[in-house]
Chains A and B, each alone.
Chain A
Amino acid sequence: MGTLGIFASRFNVNTKSLEAFDEALSFLKKKDEVARTPEVKANVDKLLDVLEPILENIQGNLSESTAVSERSVVDIMKERHDREWPIYRKKLKQLYSKLNSSKFKLSESDFRLLNDIADALDVECGNLFRRMSERR
């Protein structure tokens, strides 16, 4: 397979994850305090599918997940939040813990953070899309 197909494949996987992430984001935006109903859990899982491999990468661990190209997504986030990276990293960990708790309320800054993650993933999708169209 040429490189086009390879990038198409990664593009497809990352785009699906982003689509699910955005769906979950829209769902949770409408909620005030969130209890873990099955519907909420399904949506939180969509967020965690993206967030988990990103956090594993940030912590220097290897992740089994194939849902996103976490190394590239983390690089994009690092670039965008270079100056505040240690604090930013901490915020990501806190958000992850919050999403794993039995009852939680997402603040405006949590939503900003979730949108940052989605934006970084969107940039990675754009990168893969561009590479798909490049002649090599």
Chain B
Amino acid sequence: MKDYLKAIILEQIDRSLCLKNLIHPVKYQELSGLAERCTNIIDSITQKLRSLLAELENREEDDIRDILRKMRRRVREIEMVESYGISALYYVNDEIRYMNNLIHKIHNEINLPLSRPSVACISTRYYYFHPFTNVIFVPVGESNFLLHLPDVFHEMGHYVLFNKENTLRLKEVNRRYDVAIKKVTDYFKDLLTRKIRETGPEEKPRLIRHIHSQWKEYWINEFFCDLFALYTLGPAYAWSHLHLTIKKSEDLYKFSEVLPQTHPSDDSRMRILLIGLHKLGFDNEANMILSKWNSMPLVLNTKPLVEYQYAYPEELMKEVAELFLSGLKDGNFSIISPTNLQKQDSDSIITILNEAWDLFWNNPEEFRNWEEKCIEKLRSMIQRD
């Protein structure tokens, strides 16, 4: 087995070196940051694999369990840098320049204390961020539209979350995040104690443990990113959530008592966004969004499962929304309010995305014309900068 492991490690070193060879030449200067990151990742993997070879030499045949685990970790890393880094460098077109510069502008507007993430327009799975390579993936046609662009702010929220422990300016975000986890745990601990005391069905404690685990592993992060987008961009993000929900949601109150659910329900996401809007002082906008939301057939004709009542307690969501707002304020992010939205430059992305939503509702017939002209202007402005 030692010899076989050695052969696999050597094979993986060769694969890493081949991938490194694909990085250069970098076709667009906007991607040089990503190229450097991929190079560093591959160098680090190669070095670790070489150390592993040396370690393996000194081991007995029956003492290699940890070596196998380490080798498997490197294999996964190689696959990740290939799929979510090299591919973004390899499949490029002119759109990538516009999108990367757009992200750069947003990065400055919201005062993000991290190096700028890269964008790849090759997603076949809507928007997502990959933490290993710091790339935001967007669908190929997305650069021609504005209404879902607010989702980029949500993805940047994930970037913040990933770096909250190793960036000085994110110290308070990190601290508030830990407090939020503690609040969530305390809330469900209390509920669990009460349910165990009651002589109800045995399933209840299991259900509560399941809900707590969903919050801690997945939902808290999604709520953070939703609120991050809302607090830095404003009502446009809540509108885009409504827009996405009406187009794609299968069940507003999606909930399983046993199966893992990566995203909180669309209903709960809208509820936390409305809480956030009121906190920022966008009361009118919150009322308008709620009124549109409540008139959706999806809302009018569906009721949640009885157990759903335990999943998203209003008080807990309010506390979480407040904690994240304070963390972002202390982290010196540019937080939006009705007053400073009006004070933004007319060519700021934040203004444009909020204006887009106003116009979409007020003059839907004219919207596409306006949107096309706006994007054209944005492209020339971004290229000029």
A100 within 8 A of B: no
Binds A, one of B126-134, B292-300, B311-319: B126-134
Number of interface residues of B (CB under 8 A): 42
- Known contacts A6-B218, A26-B66, A135-B125; decide if A1 and B185 are in contact (CB<8 Å): no
Picked from A7, A60, A64, the residue with its CB within 8 Å of the CB of B182 is A64
Alpha-carbon separation in the docked complex, A71 to B65 (Å)? 23
A10 nearest in chain B by CB position: B217
Binds A, one of B97-105, B208-216, B347-355: B208-216
Tell me how far the C-beta of B185 lies from the nearest C-beta in chain A, rounded to whole angstroms. 5
Tell me how far the C-beta of B220 lies from the nearest C-beta in chain A, rounded to whole angstroms. 9
The answer to whether B158 and A118 touch across the interface, beta carbons within 8 angstroms, is no
B188 within 8 A of A: yes
Tell me how far the C-beta of B320 lies from the nearest C-beta in chain A, rounded to whole angstroms. 14
The answer to whether B185 and A63 touch across the interface, beta carbons within 8 angstroms, is yes
Q: Which of B59-103 contact A (CB under 8 A)?
A: 65-66, 69-70, 72-73, 76, 79, 83
Q: How many CB-defined contacts (below 8 Å) exist between A and B?
A: 96
The answer to whether A8 and B69 touch across the interface, beta carbons within 8 angstroms, is no
Picked from A10, A15, A64, A115, the residue with its CB within 8 Å of the CB of B66 is A115
Tell me how far the C-beta of B255 lies from the nearest C-beta in chain A, rounded to whole angstroms. 17
Give per-residue flags for A3-24: 1 if the beta carbon is below 8 A from chain B beta carbons, else 0. Answer: 1111111101001001100100
The answer to whether B128 and A115 touch across the interface, beta carbons within 8 angstroms, is no
Say which size band chain A's interface belongs to: 35 or more
A2 within 8 A of B: yes
Picked from A3, A8, A66, A125, the residue with its CB within 8 Å of the CB of B216 is A66
B221 nearest in chain A by CB position: A9
Alpha-carbon separation in the docked complex, A8 to B84 (Å)? 11
Alpha-carbon separation in the docked complex, A118 to B66 (Å)? 8
B84 nearest in chain A by CB position: A8
Give per-residue flags for B158-192: 1 if the beta carbon is below 8 A from chain A beta carbons, else 0. Answer: 10011000000000000000000110010011001
Alpha-carbon separation in the docked complex, A26 to B52 (Å)? 12
Picked from B123, B132, B181, B209, the residue with its CB within 8 Å of the CB of A8 is B132
The answer to whether B192 and A62 touch across the interface, beta carbons within 8 angstroms, is yes
- Known contacts A62-B192, A135-B125; decide if A7 and B66 are in contact (CB<8 Å): no
The answer to whether A122 and B221 touch across the interface, beta carbons within 8 angstroms, is no
The answer to whether A18 and B69 touch across the interface, beta carbons within 8 angstroms, is yes
The answer to whether B209 and A12 touch across the interface, beta carbons within 8 angstroms, is no
Alpha-carbon separation in the docked complex, A81 to B129 (Å)? 37
B76 nearest in chain A by CB position: A129
Picked from A8, A62, A63, the residue with its CB within 8 Å of the CB of B131 is A8
The answer to whether A1 and B154 touch across the interface, beta carbons within 8 angstroms, is yes
Tell me how far the C-beta of B244 lies from the nearest C-beta in chain A, rounded to whole angstroms. 12
Tell me how far the C-beta of B17 lies from the nearest C-beta in chain A, rounded to whole angstroms. 22
Q: Which of A65-116 contact B (CB under 8 A)?
A: 66, 69, 71, 115
A119 within 8 A of B: yes
Picked from A1, A25, A133, the residue with its CB within 8 Å of the CB of B158 is A1
B279 within 8 A of A: no
B147 within 8 A of A: no
Q: Which residues of A lie under 8 Å from residue B161 when comparing CB positions?
A: 9
Alpha-carbon separation in the docked complex, A91 to B128 (Å)? 42
Interface residues of B (CB under 8 A from A): 65-66, 69-70, 72-73, 76, 79, 83, 123-132, 154-155, 158, 161-162, 181-182, 185, 188-189, 192, 205, 209, 212-213, 216-218, 221-222, 225, 262-263
Give me 17 other A-B pairs in contact (C-beta within 8 A), A5-B130, A64-B181, A122-B73 excluded.
A1-B127, A1-B128, A1-B225, A2-B125, A3-B125, A3-B263, A4-B125, A6-B222, A8-B128, A9-B158, A15-B73, A22-B70, A60-B205, A64-B182, A64-B216, A115-B66, A129-B79
Interface residues of A (CB under 8 A from B): 1-10, 12, 15, 18-19, 22, 25-26, 60-64, 66, 69, 71, 115, 118-119, 122, 125-126, 129, 133, 135-136
Across the A-B interface, the 7 shortest Cβ-Cβ residue pairs: A2-B128, A5-B128, A6-B262, A64-B185, A2-B125, A122-B69, A115-B65
